[in-house]
Amino acid sequence: MRAAVRRVAMRLVALVRRDRVDGEAAREIGAHLALIEDDCRRRGMSPAAAARAARLALGGVDQALERHRQARSWPWLEDARHDLRLAGRAAMRAPGATLAAIGTLGVGLGASTAIATLAYAVLLRPLPFGAAPERLVRLVASTPNPVAPDAPLRRVPVALSLEEARDLDAASDAIDGAGLWAPTVLGLSGLDDAGHVGAARVSSTTLSLLEARPLIGRSLDPDDDAGTSGAALLGETAWRRWFGADAAIVGRSIAVHSVLGRRRSQTVQIVGVLPASFTFPAADTGLWLPLPPPAGPEPTRAALLARLAPGTSPAAALDAIGPAVRALRGHGPDVRYELVREQEQLVGPVRPALLVLTATVAVLLLIAAMNVTSLLLARALARAREFSLRAALGASRGRLIRQGLTESLALGIAGGLAGLAVATAGLAAFRRLASPLPRIDLGTTGVGWGATAFPRLDDAGLDGAIVVAALGLALVVGLGTGVAAALRAGRADVGPALRLSGASAAAGGRRGRLLRRGLVVAQVAGALPLLVGAVALGRSLQHLAGTDPGFATTNVLTFQVSLPPAAYPDARLQAFAEALAERLRQRRGVRHAGYANQVPMVALRDTAGGLWTTADARRPFAPDAADARVVSRDYLSALGVGVVAGRGFGPGDGAGQPRVLLVNEALARRQFPGRDPVGLTVYLGRDTTPWSIVGVVADVRQFGLDRAPEPQFFVDVRQWQGGMPLFPTGAYYVVATAGRPERLIPEVRALVHDLDVGAAVFNVATLDAIVASTLTRPRLYAVVIAAFAAVGALLSAIGLYGVLAFLVQERTPEIGVRLALGASRGAVLRLVLGQGVALVAIGLVLGLGAAQALERALTSLLYGVQPGDAATTAAAVALFVAVAAVAVMVPARRATRVDPIAAIRAE
Amino acid sequence: MASGDTSRIALLQGTLDLIVLQALRTMGPLHAYALATRLAQAADERLIVNQGTLYPALVRLEQKGWIKGRWSTTEHGREAKFYGLTASGTRALTRETERWRDLAGLVERLLAEGGR
């Protein structure tokens, strides 16, 4: 055994110190030869005869050396070293072609690696919630929207009390554990305005279902569920950011104030720190508290998180618990329940896009691979003379093939390394593109407050396994692209290539020509679907960006003000807001200044229990209740929202006056079809105070440019006394300016500071920026696919150019003869053009099918663009033809400039 | 090297290795030519066709650490590489000889049975 190990080690030494060992062997064999000769001469032979006899006895010096070489190392490895050196030399001789091949492979492999990394991290990697995260489900309810029956259903979590959840769990075998949770936003008092943190109220069972393991301290106990212990868990990110990762945080008391809901200040004691990987209910949750104790006779209710029993499907579990929930909540049959897996909830919205990206990047990789194959083929033909020479000098066919494969493997590795660099840069660019305004209140990930347009992006990184897989793929692609070229090299014929001149030798035969044209056709066929996808997504984005949101977005500044809660009970909030708005109105360049509980595109909802025509103090919860907006008198004017019927709020609608409200057109259509709502009396939620509708205002796209306007009603802040807290998230101020709104920001800060030194301005953004932020995801998709399409189209155009340039070079003598015999330059031009047009046409026709399939897959990502739209296809074809025209025209024009005399003489 | 490999080439290789080791033990350090001459005399020239075929065996044995080559001069003043048996080579020879005898005996027995 030791001898075997020693032998391997010695072989390695022999490989590394090859030249030295070889010299030593040559010396030994030379000495051996001399000894035999000496002997022969001593036996009376002539020197010449002795020399011959010695060689005969030894069996040839070279043969002995070769035997030595084969025994002392791994001959194939030595050959590979030699091949690599040759490959390096060949690469240096044509640096342009080599760089082009490495770059092409790098882009193809890099894009594939980046997308594969994303797809794995987002879709496949299990959530970091214990041993069986796939069994965790959320219970949501949805009601069809009677105004827009085709609109995606709005899913709302179904709220249960702790006792109800416990009973549900105990009564059903389908469920193995149930917890409650509710997302919120809290302010950490005593910190600056950045102290707003995504938070969650959770039952202790929720944390145990998710197998939360605190870094330090403890999790929440069942004792904490009463909501009176004041225990709280801090997130690792918040802990590092605000408390310098101080381990003494456990046991410390900190003051928090609610930002949503009734404004309350509360002191909590941190009992533990949860790791950054604990991302429930959203990635930016940084504080977990027990559910609050009930405020009245009703118990505290929150959304249900359940763990399915092993082997139970969500549908089966829903059958088991659905009827009980329906009875508990008093929902009608039109309310549909669903148990949504936690993973599905998180990644469901981006799955179609990721699958499309995966498919398109695979096409891109294929195009890149075919492009490099063409390049290698062309190079193999150009090097036909070199290979023929080597074949003539005795290189075996296998050896030549291996040489070709070594070159393509080296190329694959270089391409793979380039690809890793491209992938790293690509992922960074993807992350930048996927970052909307970093604000908790602009969440785009559905339930919970998410601030990224793409879930789980932080998990997506190039780790060891992905690097290995990418390099493996690079080797496969390298080999795949090299095989055709290597086989060609192996077929090197000694005769013809050496006899004929370079250009003629490079003709490569019929089969080679067919192969190269086939590759070009396939590249064109692959580029078309990419372009169709890019055009469709681009048009969709254009439609979205061009959609009229129903309010003025330019020259509008929005911001919020955080006030010390102790100094500002609800009664003083409105006074502060009105004072600030009044001071703003007096500024030069300010056209309107108003405030409201929410501004458009903020992903918060407040229904105040909805708007009804009858009073009902025991009204059940309605998931589709209209949105309530509490606004200042100037708010609708500041946003440019027009009054369609009746009147807007006037100076006479102050406190103590008859209660009036405005509804939007969507609400009028839904709740008062065919009737004029102006003058009707309505009731809000369970409140029995009558309100009268005095006007109808135009619809506004409140929740996204791609979402139809939803029913809303507006209440003047001066008359607001309902059960709904005033400005739950702190008022949003809206200032319409005459000039650039950004210029007003320092003045705003100064004004706020003047009014109260303890107040801080936060969430400052123009309405334009907020609206643009909602387009983050469609823009991301459009940009990525457009990049893929651009690269794919460019590569196939380059492939096309290569084949035609080759054709012109190959047929230069023939063209010369034709021209000499009187053919017109136009005829020559048509000859080359015809070839190019034929290749493009075949490729485009073949690509149409794939393009249609891709468009169907894109359906859910498109807005205002029909899949299979002829305009989209036509635009994509036109785009490609424009690029291809350049690739065709350059060689075609070169053909017309052939000098007949020079061409014929060259042959 | 108790690999149990009984393919023809491995067997032949092993055989040549064994013969070289044995020659070096009885004769002391030898250079390749002397070794070849010695083997030719002992085996009626039936063993090696040409002397170059010795080199793979020498390389193998030296890489295993069973023999060690040293440059020196012959009695006629020529330089040559002399191979001598190492301590582990001596042990290996004993081991391999036993193995060879076992194998040879076994094969002989089997052949004898088959002849009957």
The DSSP annotation for B83-97 comes to EEE-HHHHHHHHHHH
Do A32 and B78 make contact, defined as CB atoms within 8 angstroms?
A: no
Which of the residues B16, B51, B67, B68 would you substitute to probe the A interface, choosing the one with the greatest number of A C-beta atoms within 10 Å? B51
Angle made by CA atoms B55, B59, B65, in degrees to the nearest 5: 145
Do B56 and A31 make contact, defined as CB atoms within 8 angstroms?
A: no
Higher per-residue pLDDT: B100 or A263: B100
Nearest to A705 by CA among A631, A640, A771: A771
**pLDDT score for A754:** 92
Counting every residue written for chain B, the total comes to 116
Do A28 and B81 make contact, defined as CB atoms within 8 angstroms?
A: yes
Confidence of residue A787 (pLDDT cuts 50, 70, 90): very high
Cβ(A738)–Cβ(A592) below 8 Å = no
Do B63 and A36 make contact, defined as CB atoms within 8 angstroms?
A: no
Mapping DSSP to helix (H, G, I), strand (E, B) and coil, where does residue A426 land? helix
Q: What is the largest CA-CA distance in chain A?
A: 140
Whole-angstrom distance, CA of residue A662 vs CA of residue A637? 14
Q: Measured between CA atoms, how close is A67 to chain B, in angstroms?
A: 6
Confidence of residue A497 (pLDDT cuts 50, 70, 90): very low
Mean pLDDT throughout A477-505?
61
- Dihedral sign (CA A195, A199, A204, A208): negative
Nearest residue on chain B to A67, judged by CA atoms?
A: B56
Q: Print burial letters for B2-31: b (CB count within 10 Å at least 16), e (below 16).
A: eeeeeeeeeeebbebbbbbbbbbeeeebbb
Do B52 and A11 make contact, defined as CB atoms within 8 angstroms?
A: no
For residue B74, pLDDT over 50 is answered with yes
Cβ(A883)–Cβ(A797) below 8 Å = yes
For residue A450, pLDDT over 70 is answered with no
For residue A723, pLDDT over 60 is answered with no
Confidence of residue A840 (pLDDT cuts 50, 70, 90): very high
Neighboring chain A residues of B56 at a CB cutoff of 8 Å: 67-68, 70-71
Specify the amino acid at residue A841: A
For residue B35, pLDDT over 60 is answered with yes
SS3 percent helix, strand, coil of chain B, rounded to 5, is 65, 15, 20
Counting every residue written for chain A, the total comes to 907
Cβ(A272)–Cβ(A185) below 8 Å = no
Nearest residue on chain A to B55, judged by CA atoms?
A: A68
Mapping DSSP to helix (H, G, I), strand (E, B) and coil, where does residue A724 land? coil
For residue A248, pLDDT over 80 is answered with yes
Nearest residue on chain B to A12, judged by CA atoms?
A: B63
Whole-angstrom distance, CA of residue A174 vs CA of residue B46? 84
Average pLDDT over chain A, rounded to an integer: 84
Do A29 and B1 make contact, defined as CB atoms within 8 angstroms?
A: no
Which pTM was predicted?
A: 0.74
Neighboring chain A residues of B92 at a CB cutoff of 8 Å: 3
Nearest residue on chain A to B69, judged by CA atoms?
A: A28
Mean pLDDT throughout A314-340?
87
Neighboring chain A residues of B49 at a CB cutoff of 8 Å: 59
Mean pLDDT throughout A619-638?
83
Cβ(A265)–Cβ(A190) below 8 Å = no
Closest residue to A58, CB basis, from B52, B65, B80: B52
Higher per-residue pLDDT: A245 or B47: A245
For residue A492, pLDDT over 70 is answered with no
Confidence of residue A691 (pLDDT cuts 50, 70, 90): very high
Contact status of A57 with chain B (Cβ, < 8 Å): yes
Mean pLDDT throughout A792-816?
86
Query: By CB neighbour count within 10 A (0-12 exposed, 13-18 middle, 19+ buried), where does A636 fall?
Result: buried
Nearest to A839 by CA among A514, A615, A555: A514
Neighboring chain A residues of B66 at a CB cutoff of 8 Å: 3
Q: Are strands A556-562 and A732-737 parallel, antiparallel or unpaired?
A: antiparallel
Mean pLDDT throughout A631-635?
89
Mean pLDDT throughout A431-439?
78
Q: Measured between CA atoms, how close is A275 to chain B, in angstroms?
A: 53
Q: Measured between CA atoms, how close is A30 to chain B, in angstroms?
A: 9
Whole-angstrom distance, CA of residue A604 vs CA of residue A281? 16
For residue B39, pLDDT over 90 is answered with no
**Look-up of token digits 């190990």:** A5
Confidence of residue A493 (pLDDT cuts 50, 70, 90): low
Q: Measured between CA atoms, how close is B112 to chain A, in angstroms?
A: 34
**pLDDT score for A71:** 82
Contact status of A190 with chain B (Cβ, < 8 Å): no
Mean pLDDT throughout A826-833?
87
**pLDDT score for A481:** 76
Cβ(A367)–Cβ(A876) below 8 Å = no
Confidence of residue B7 (pLDDT cuts 50, 70, 90): very low
**pLDDT score for A504:** 43
Cβ(A721)–Cβ(A571) below 8 Å = no
Contact status of A738 with chain B (Cβ, < 8 Å): no
At A228, list the tokens: 């009176």
Contacts of residue A897, defined as CB under 8 A and 6 or more positions apart, other chains included, come to none
For residue A147, pLDDT over 60 is answered with no
ipTM above 0.95, yes or no: no
Contact status of A827 with chain B (Cβ, < 8 Å): no
Beta bridge partners of B79: B73
Residue A209 backbone class (left: φ over 0; alpha: ψ -120 to 50; beta: rest): alpha
At A627, list the tokens: 């949105």
Q: What are phi and psi of A678, to 5 degrees?
A: -65, 130
Q: What are phi and psi of A666, to 5 degrees?
A: -60, -40
Neighboring chain A residues of B3 at a CB cutoff of 8 Å: 4
Mapping DSSP to helix (H, G, I), strand (E, B) and coil, where does residue A639 land? coil
Do B59 and A31 make contact, defined as CB atoms within 8 angstroms?
A: no
Do B52 and A29 make contact, defined as CB atoms within 8 angstroms?
A: yes
Nearest to A100 by CA among A880, A801, A846: A801
Whole-angstrom distance, CA of residue A565 vs CA of residue A256? 10
Mean pLDDT throughout A620-645?
86
Q: Are strands A611-612 and A681-684 parallel, antiparallel or unpaired?
A: antiparallel
Mean pLDDT throughout A535-542?
93
Q: Which of A514-518, A588-592, A831-835 has the highest mean pLDDT?
A: A588-592
**pLDDT score for A269:** 93
Confidence of residue A262 (pLDDT cuts 50, 70, 90): low
B-facing residues of A in 694-713 (CB < 8 A) are none
Mean pLDDT throughout A379-407?
75
A550-584 pLDDT, tens digit per residue, is 998 899 999 988 777 777 777 788 889 989 999 99
| H helix or E strand, kind and range, residue A257 | strand A253-258
User: Considering chain A, what percentage of its residues have pLDDT values greater than 70?
Assistant: 91
Do B63 and A25 make contact, defined as CB atoms within 8 angstroms?
A: no
Confidence of residue A260 (pLDDT cuts 50, 70, 90): low
Nearest residue on chain A to B2, judged by CA atoms?
A: A1
**pLDDT score for A107:** 92
Do B88 and A56 make contact, defined as CB atoms within 8 angstroms?
A: no
Do B92 and A25 make contact, defined as CB atoms within 8 angstroms?
A: no
Q: Which of A182-191, A267-276, B104-113 has the lowest mean pLDDT?
A: A182-191
Do A58 and B51 make contact, defined as CB atoms within 8 angstroms?
A: yes
Closest residue to A3, CB basis, from B36, B51, B65: B65
- In this structure, the number of other CB atoms found within 10 A of the CB of residue A541 comes to 22
Whole-angstrom distance, CA of residue A763 vs CA of residue A767? 11
Mean pLDDT throughout B3-26?
67
**pLDDT score for A192:** 54
Mean pLDDT throughout A326-345?
85
Mean pLDDT throughout A457-478?
83
